[in-house]
């Protein structure tokens, strides 16, 4: 998905979200305050000859293209307004956003992606819990032997179901078990954290946690159900990441991320900052 297509997507979605449109300055301020576009903060200080931030001029330029194709009204009496054709085109762009590739340069933010596909934190928690329950019923002695871990991006995995307008990807219990085994069935926040022996197998009870949530598979365009992305956590730390105070969650996420920064980059096919992770978790 090109940067121009992403810009059109953000603009048309914003107009639709605002009930059809609004004054140019209001629309752009809304995009900025909603944190929908990566360019905001970096480029707000860079002014053009028209005394405008570069990213605002870029949106104005794409608006002209949308007008030319009939997706926005030509004369909105000072307002930027979406047309019926624009609403139909928005649906096509949303579908295109679901098939992003790791090679795509993503300019809209995780915040926008969450809004676009109505991703809720409780969805991720429920899927995590289901995986935990599946693993708990398996004898740890039957855990697969370690395999060579390839630090390269892999295609998105199988879709287990569709929820509303987004894909839910299958979590492989075999991969999760290997991740726990890789960590020695110890908590990767602090190996001294106490737990209890599993009912099946002579190892400590730990829970697998996908650092980059599986619900963002389409955003990154790669398989996130990888050992490199799965951490072994004691029950307390796992629950704290999902339910804890934002400050504490940021500390936990930072610790895990920095311990495997290179591996995370390698499976994504691009760099990611810890602030982006905070956005994914909604703890900024």
pLDDT tens digit string along 59-108? 999 999 999 999 999 887 889 999 999 999 999 999 999 888 888 889 99
Q: Where are the domains of the chain?
A: 3-97, 121-281
The neighbouring-strand residues paired with 169 are 159
In this predicted structure, the answer to whether residue 46 has a pLDDT above a threshold of 50 is no
CA quadruple 85, 91, 95, 101: dihedral sign:
positive
Q: What are phi and psi of 96, to 5 degrees?
A: -65, -30
Cβ atoms of 110 and 199 closer than 8 Å: no
Tens-digit pLDDT profile for residues 218-241: 999 999 999 999 999 999 999 999
- How far apart, in whole angstroms, are the C-alpha atoms of residue 64 and residue 272? 32
- C-alpha to C-alpha distance for 206 and 237, rounded to whole angstroms: 10
* 44 vs 189: CA distance, rounded Å: 37
The CATH number given to 3-97 is: 1.10.10
Tokens 């995780």 sit at which residue? 110
pLDDT (tens digit, 9 = 90+) per residue, 101-153? Answer: 888 889 999 999 999 988 777 778 888 888 888 888 776 655 555 567 889 99
């Amino acid at each position: 998905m090109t940067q121009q297509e992403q810009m059109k997507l953000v603009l048309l979605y914003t107009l639709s979200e605002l009930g059809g449109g609004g004054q140019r300055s209001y629309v752009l301020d809304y995009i900025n305050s909603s944190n929908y576009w990566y360019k905001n903060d970096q480029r707000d200080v860079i002014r053009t000859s028209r005394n405008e931030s570069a990213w605002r001029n870029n949106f104005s330029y794409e608006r002209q293209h949308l007008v030319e194709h009939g997706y926005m009204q030509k004369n909105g009496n000072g307002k930027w307004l979406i047309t019926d054709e624009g609403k139909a085109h928005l649906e096509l762009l949303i579908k295109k956003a679901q098939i992003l590739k790791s090679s795509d340069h993503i300019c809209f933010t995780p915040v926008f992606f969450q809004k676009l596909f109505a991703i809720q934190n409780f969805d991720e928690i429920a899927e995590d819990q289901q995986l935990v329950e599946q693993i708990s019923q398996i004898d740890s002695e039957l855990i697969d032997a370690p395999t060579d871990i390839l630090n390269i991006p892999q295609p998105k995995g199988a879709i287990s179901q569709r929820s509303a307008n987004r894909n839910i990807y299958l979590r492989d219990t075999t991969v999760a078990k290997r991740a726990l085994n890789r960590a020695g069935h110890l908590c990767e926040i602090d190996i001294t954290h106490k737990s209890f022996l599993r009912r099946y197998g002579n190892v400590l009870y730990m829970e697998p946690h996908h650092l980059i949530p599986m619900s963002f598979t389409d955003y990154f365009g790669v398989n996130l159900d990888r050992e490199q992305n799965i951490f072994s956590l004691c029950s307390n730390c796992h629950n704290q990441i999902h339910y804890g105070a934002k400050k504490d969650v940021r500390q936990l996420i930072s610790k895990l991320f920095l311990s495997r920064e290179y591996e995370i980059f390698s499976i994504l096919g691009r760099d990611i900052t810890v602030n982006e992770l905070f956005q994914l978790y909604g703890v900024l």
